[in-house]
């Protein structure tokens, strides 16, 4: 294990939001039952995670894997200190999320016009007006909302996304009251240099604003991009149990960052997460059984390094 105390600016502790139950399962052909989802959520809650994305309030016809999100929230065994969140693409979804008892609501906007239309069937300006209405609903209910800016590191339809556009949209989301911003590498087009450039630009523009990154491993750069972000002091990340999932509304979007692989790397580097890695691996193995196929996680295949040497 490496000690990171001598690494200037490197965070000593990282907070991970688990998105597998939503962003992971939404891209699976197998639709888990409500009981299976509850079992998975309970296993994840036992790992020390403090933020878990439970599901999405979207049209069942578009994302049938999320059709029972309200039922999942209703039967969820909540653990003290854990924030159980949901995503909502519109006002109707926000109202449903609040009614279901979501502790926090994530609203989505894309950094490119093409992806925004593919993802939520509206242009960016229309989405911003929609977000304003959603923000009012969420705030009136006393819940925080986290604005997620998708394809912030590249769009599968338009290619490079100007950093200036990313910052402009971040500013507009903050003006609407977003408590936290998440920048998403939705289709895994980012690389370490770009991640570094975006984070530096964000910090210069919004020096006091918390930042979370949602990075993918579609092209194998996920953990390298994490390292680039860590070097700039970022300490909040999304990841998915087993490494499952991706965006069903964009080409080339598989490859969520794997929670066990991320946690193992951080622990080996001496970065605290508060997570029980063995319990995470058990949850990933259980998920494999539920899905009926292997998951991308490398750690459940290779094992924990310190266990190999005793």
Give pLDDT, residue 1.
58
Q: Which residues contact 59 (CB under 8 A, 6 or more apart)?
A: none
Arithmetic mean of pLDDT, 132-148: 92
How far lies 105's CA from each of 77, 180, 202, 310, in Å? 19, 11, 23, 43
Arithmetic mean of pLDDT, 249-254: 52
Tell me the pLDDT band of 276, cut-offs 50, 70 and 90. Answer: very high
Structure tokens at 179: 């408590």
Give pLDDT, residue 7.
66
Distance, C-alpha 306 to centroid of its chain = 28
Tell me the pLDDT band of 254, cut-offs 50, 70 and 90. Answer: low
Tell me the pLDDT band of 119, cut-offs 50, 70 and 90. Answer: confident
Neighbours of 247 (CB within 10 A): 25
Distance, C-alpha 165 to centroid of its chain = 21
| Pairwise CA distance, residues 280 & 275, whole Å | 8
Cβ atoms 1, 36 nearer than 8 A: no
Q: Which residues contact 229 (CB under 8 A, 6 or more apart)?
A: 195, 196, 199, 213, 215, 237
The structural domains of the chain, ordered by start, are 15-308 (3.20.20.70)
Tell me the pLDDT band of 143, cut-offs 50, 70 and 90. Answer: very high
Look at 246 and 208; give whichever has higher pLDDT: 208
Across the chain, mean pLDDT equals 92
What are the catalytic residues?
247
* CA angle in degrees (0–180, nearest 5) for 11-171-174: 75
Tell me the pLDDT band of 248, cut-offs 50, 70 and 90. Answer: low
Give pLDDT, residue 40.
98
Tell me the pLDDT band of 250, cut-offs 50, 70 and 90. Answer: low
Distance, C-alpha 61 to centroid of its chain = 23
Whether the CA torsion 256, 258, 262, 265 is positive or negative: it is: negative
- pLDDT > 80? residue 6: no
DSSP 155: B
């Amino acid at each position: 294990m490496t000690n990171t105390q001598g690494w200037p600016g490197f965070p000593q502790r990282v907070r991970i939001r688990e998105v597998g139950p939503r962003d992971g399962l939404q891209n699976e052909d197998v639709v888990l039952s409500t009981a299976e989802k509850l079992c998975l959520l309970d296993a994840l809650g036992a790992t020390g995670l403090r933020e878990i994305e439970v599901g999405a309030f979207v049209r069942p016809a578009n994302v049938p894997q999320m059709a029972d999100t309200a039922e999942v929230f209703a039967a969820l065994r909540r653990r003290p200190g854990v924030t159980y969140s949901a995503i909502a693409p519109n006002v109707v979804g926000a109202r449903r999320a609040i009614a279901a008892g979501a502790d926090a609501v994530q609203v989505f906007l894309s950094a490119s016009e093409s992806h925004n239309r593919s993802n939520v069937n509206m242009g960016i300006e229309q989405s911003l007006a929609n977000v304003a209405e959603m923000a009012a609903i969420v705030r009136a209910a006393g819940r925080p909302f986290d604005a997620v800016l998708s394809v912030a590191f590249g769009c599968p339809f338009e290619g490079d996304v100007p950093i200036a556009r990313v910052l402009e949209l971040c500013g507009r989301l903050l003006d609407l009251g977003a408590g936290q911003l998440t920048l998403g590498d939705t289709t895994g087009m980012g690389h370490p240099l770009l991640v570094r450039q975006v984070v530096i630009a964000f910090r210069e523009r919004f020096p006091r604003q918390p930042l979370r990154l949602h990075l993918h491993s579609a092209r194998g750069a996920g953990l390298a991009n994490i390292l680039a972000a860590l070097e700039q002091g970022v300490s909040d990340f999304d990841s998915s149990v087993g490494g499952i999932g991706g965006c069903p509304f964009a080409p080339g979007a598989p490859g969520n960052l794997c929670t066990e692989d991320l946690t193992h790397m951080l622990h080996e580097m001496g970065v605290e997460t508060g997570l029980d890695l063995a319990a995470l691996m058990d949850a990933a193995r259980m998920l494999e059984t539920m899905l009926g196929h292997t998951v991308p996680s490398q750690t459940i295949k290779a094992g924990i390094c310190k266990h190999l040497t005793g």
